[in-house]
Chain A
């Protein structure tokens, strides 16, 4: 796949945000803030970074992407549809009976969905298991990416995995923390302080890169750096804006776990199409 220019990736990320709003409105439940904030990262992963084949999701040489904070799965579903894993029409089935697009992702339901998640704190352990299996099989050209939430880091399981990946120096694992500073009960630093987060991961034997997670260019660079570091695993702390692109959702923790209603969705789509009023929408 030829590399796309950053401008094109940014356009795709914005289209993905629009589809997230549409699918959440239709579903009538689900998480808004996290998926919107992660749209740039998922666009970069699926359209630039990952070695993958949407027409052959089980390709044996593919890179693995794990979504540990399963509640953010709307961004993954939409990005997978845009990347060609399935028809975008299916996005309308989110959270409906019989759908492959479950409220929280299930590995056995949707080809290309590498893990089942929702209960938090498991993705990094699974990434460790996968990287260890790859090492046993001498598969050196595959990489495992795992996206985690910041609130998720409250889970002890994460730190058990952090120790193991550090101990085993699994440089084929790259972690991505969606550092958006919100969780259900409020700001992360008041619910359960995570700082100094960079020091914490370094102390566990990780190389840490801190970036603006809504800057696609910076994220692609960070992933390239992570792959280049052979001595240890890399954790990318990606500072994102929850609800990114929709003014009334941005940085508001009350949008963690709810979908927009019809009027809110209309307003959100208008904002996304006009980039917050900076340009005129062709749709209106």
Chain B
């Protein structure tokens, strides 16, 4: 859609790791507000917190490999009026420190910003231990928590700036590998907003994070079969933009969700909950189905686990055949 200022879908899209956008966003947030501080658990370059550290060494704390301490120190800083961004790999934070996040951050409704990098199977050769798939489910069930999975690095940058401006706990999910940049500086981003990236009437492809690009490719493939797919990008999984999603689904009557994580409790879970209570239609969820990842190249793994445009298109054919009208 033209007012979203998206990049035209071609095979030569520039790519950049989503975490790079976070690094730039945090640096800017630090310049905009002196209360923004940062802490990291021995992964400062990897999570791109290094930009902030270089500019504001006195506002950065190296915690060491101690993720429980990482978020709980964040809680203490937030109690003193700071807006702490705390980062590690998603498998460790929020993977290892869920209870500390629950008790010391969410129950207090404190503005600690938890940044989990290297989420999804596209982490690649590091294997299952490092491919965080359950983070969306873990964070989504916590009261007061906002959950964001940006679709590209530019959106991650905007999301980081928006996170610095709200007073609540936030989780930001980042990916390791280069992801095609599908938005521009002018593309809007607001926490809690879903965006219709492509209009269609036959089926809604509802995607988050790295899978939005794949959903756009799938829509292109479906168009070749005369199917008009609508692509809804959902960067904020909680709070979910019920209105935009329901509007799309009421029009199309069939849904495919797509995410690079467990469908149980993830975006697929969230959309299914929304639809079963408000507007039940056939749904197919593309994502990890109650299993762990393994080592491989990102491309191999996405194909192996069915996390690509072809599988989204296949799922779309399936829900269309189950459509009642």
Tell me the A residues contacting B by CB distance below 8 Å: 106-108, 114-119, 121-122, 125-134, 136-137, 156-157, 160-161, 163-164, 167-168
Secondary structure call for the A interface: helix
Q: Are A164 and B80 in contact (CB under 8 A)?
A: no
Q: Are A136 and B59 in contact (CB under 8 A)?
A: yes
Q: Are B68 and A134 in contact (CB under 8 A)?
A: no
**A161's contact among B58, B72, B80, B81, by CB below 8 Å, is which?**
B72
Q: Are B69 and A157 in contact (CB under 8 A)?
A: yes
9 pairs across A/B with beta carbons < 8 Å? A117-B103, A119-B99, A122-B72, A122-B103, A129-B76, A132-B73, A136-B59, A160-B66, A160-B68
Q: Which of B61-82 contact A (CB under 8 A)?
A: 61, 63-64, 66, 68-69, 72-82
Q: Are A115 and B79 in contact (CB under 8 A)?
A: yes
Q: Are A163 and B64 in contact (CB under 8 A)?
A: yes
Query: A224 → chain B, closest Cβ, in Å?
Result: 24
**6 tightest A-B contacts by CB?**
A129-B76, A125-B72, A133-B80, A160-B69, A126-B76, A160-B66
Q: Are A118 and B80 in contact (CB under 8 A)?
A: no
- With A108-B108, A161-B72 known as contacts, the answer to whether A133 contacts B77 (CB < 8 A) is yes
Query: Inside 8 A of A117's CB, which chain B residues have their CB?
Result: 103
**A129's contact among B58, B59, B66, B74, by CB below 8 Å, is which?**
B74
Give the docked Cα–Cα distance between A99 and B113 (Å).
Answer: 30
Query: Inside 8 A of B14's CB, which chain A residues have their CB?
Result: none
* Chain B residues bordering chain A, tally (CB within 8 A): 28
- With A108-B109, A157-B68 known as contacts, the answer to whether A132 contacts B77 (CB < 8 A) is yes
Q: Are A116 and B73 in contact (CB under 8 A)?
A: no
Q: Are B81 and A133 in contact (CB under 8 A)?
A: yes
Query: B109 → chain A, closest Cβ, in Å?
Result: 7
With both beta carbons as reference points, the residue of chain A lying nearest to B97 in the complex is identified as A157
Query: A173 → chain B, closest Cβ, in Å?
Result: 10
Query: B92 → chain A, closest Cβ, in Å?
Result: 13
Query: Inside 8 A of B80's CB, which chain A residues have their CB?
Result: 129-130, 133-134, 137
Query: Inside 8 A of B59's CB, which chain A residues have their CB?
Result: 136
Query: A69 → chain B, closest Cβ, in Å?
Result: 13
Give the docked Cα–Cα distance between A161 and B104 (Å).
Answer: 14
**A136's contact among B58, B68, B73, by CB below 8 Å, is which?**
B58
Give the docked Cα–Cα distance between A163 and B61 (Å).
Answer: 13
C-beta contact mask, B24-39 vs A, less than 8 Å → 1, else 0?
A: 0000000000000100
Give the docked Cα–Cα distance between A129 and B112 (Å).
Answer: 12
Please indicate which of the listed interface residues A108, A130, A131, A168 has the most CB atoms of chain B within 10 Å of its own CB: A130
Give the docked Cα–Cα distance between A125 and B108 (Å).
Answer: 15
